[in-house]
Amino acid sequence: MPENPNQPREYDAVLGGDRPPPINAVVLGGLEGVKRRLASTQEAQRILALNDALKYGESGLDLVIQALQDKSGGVRRAANSLLRTKTETKVKIALEKYNPYQFFECLHTFEGHSLGVNSVAIAPNGKTVVSGSGDETIKVWDIETGECQRTLYGHSEDIVSLAIAPNSKTIVSGSMHYTIKVWDIMTGNCQRTLEMDSDLFSVAIAPNGKTIVSGSYDNAIKVWDIETGECQRTLHGHSSYVSSVAISPDGKTIVSGSRDKTIKVWDILTSKSLGTLHGHSDVVRSVAIDPNAKTIISASDDKTIKVWDILTGKSLGTLHGHSEDVVSVAIAPDAKTIVSGSKDNTIFVWGLVTGESLRTLEGHLDAVTSVAIAPDGRTIVSGSYDKTIKVWGMR
């Protein structure tokens, strides 16, 4: 019997019926066909439909924006990726309301250290990760390939803190054995060594790339000239060791966290204390300042993260969620997202304004000791006592 030319064949795509068209089929019906595919129960169909939607001008663009609210993480990720190539005002507004961190997953795991990783940092150019370990080495990694480009030797104790200068060419490392070292990131050569009077816990580099700030076991904060290695001034005020230091984006303010359970705010030029923040019930392990220099974030062994107004010292909220000590905290470039690492082996991603946990990143097998966020906000890097570094982002 001859085939009826008016009947659809097995691989024709139609707008009626319950059977979804094959993924590679040509879908008829223009924008209406795209809408129908976006209503499909199949994630792959909806993702393909998003690519086709952009062929239909403003109406199609609106469909992609709406897909940011899709029930599927894969569809939301695809919509976000497509919209980031667009410059329309309504797209920018939509993306400002959308937080991609909730869909982050582990992209790479770097292995090479023989003992736990204590500190990680991302270069401002976003291309390089640096890690410091209990094995007394610093490793320089390509963030995309995971290749270890070089290993820096010279410290004789655990490397507990790292920072990278704004020019992405200089590493500053702090060791438990009274030393800070300044390195050329490209050659791996140690340019100078700064001698401490006590065990060191934290280092930071000022935005001008000329100043180092350190926190140490002798309860003090020191300000150093990175070129000469000279200690310019010492700040006293904490009653126990200084576990973390951070410098504001304008380079004028230091924030320090201590075993004495407090956070202090300092004027970097006058060495005067501008205020003391009370509220944690245990050691303050990590402090960070938001890009607008308005907010301080602190992480503590009391298992909480606190948000503070940097000018008034007022507590703006407490974040609960980790089941063990919170060891490290970082703020995203958009000043809307917090990332924290804990001894419970997890990384939490938080909304700064709402205080809500957006995502829990799991994969490390031991305490997460350090977290960092890339300058473009699209990558998180974490270090752990499990000897690995993980890179998190959206595929």
Which of 157, 164, 109 is closest to 133 using CA atoms?
157
Q: What is the pLDDT of residue 16?
A: 44
DSSP SS3 for 25? coil
Domain boundaries, the chain: 30-98, 107-393
Model-level pTM greater than 0.75?
yes
CATH architecture of 107-393: 7 Propeller (2.130)
Q: Which two tokens stand for residue 374?
A: 């890339």
Task: Say which amino acid occupies 31.
Answer: L
Mean pLDDT score of the chain:
91
Comparing 48 with 14, the larger pLDDT belongs to 48
Cα dist. 225→139, 192, 281 in Å? 24, 11, 34
Q: Are 280 and 326 in contact (CB under 8 A)?
A: no
Upper half-sphere CA count for residue 385 (Cβ side, 13 Å):
12
Per-residue pLDDT tens for 31-88? 999 999 999 999 999 999 998 999 999 999 999 999 998 888 789 888 988 998 899 9
Domain 30-98 maps to which CATH number in 1.20.140, 1.10.30, 1.20.1250, 1.25.10? 1.25.10
Concatenated DSSP letters of 228-264: T--EEEEE---SS-EEEEEE-TTSSEEEEEETTS-EE
- How large is the average pLDDT for residues 217-239? 96
Is-contact 364 388, C-beta < 8 A? yes
pLDDT in tens, 248-273: 999 999 999 999 999 999 999 999 99
Percent of the chain with pLDDT over 90: 80
Q: Is 323 exposed, middle or buried (0-12, 13-18, 19+ CB in 10 A)?
A: exposed
Q: Which residues does 28 contact at the CB level (< 8 Å), separation at least 6?
A: 13, 14, 15
Burial pattern 179-188, b for ≥16 Cβ within 10 A else e, equals bbbbbebeeb
Q: Is the pLDDT score of 9 beyond 70? A: no
Residue-level pLDDT at 29: 66
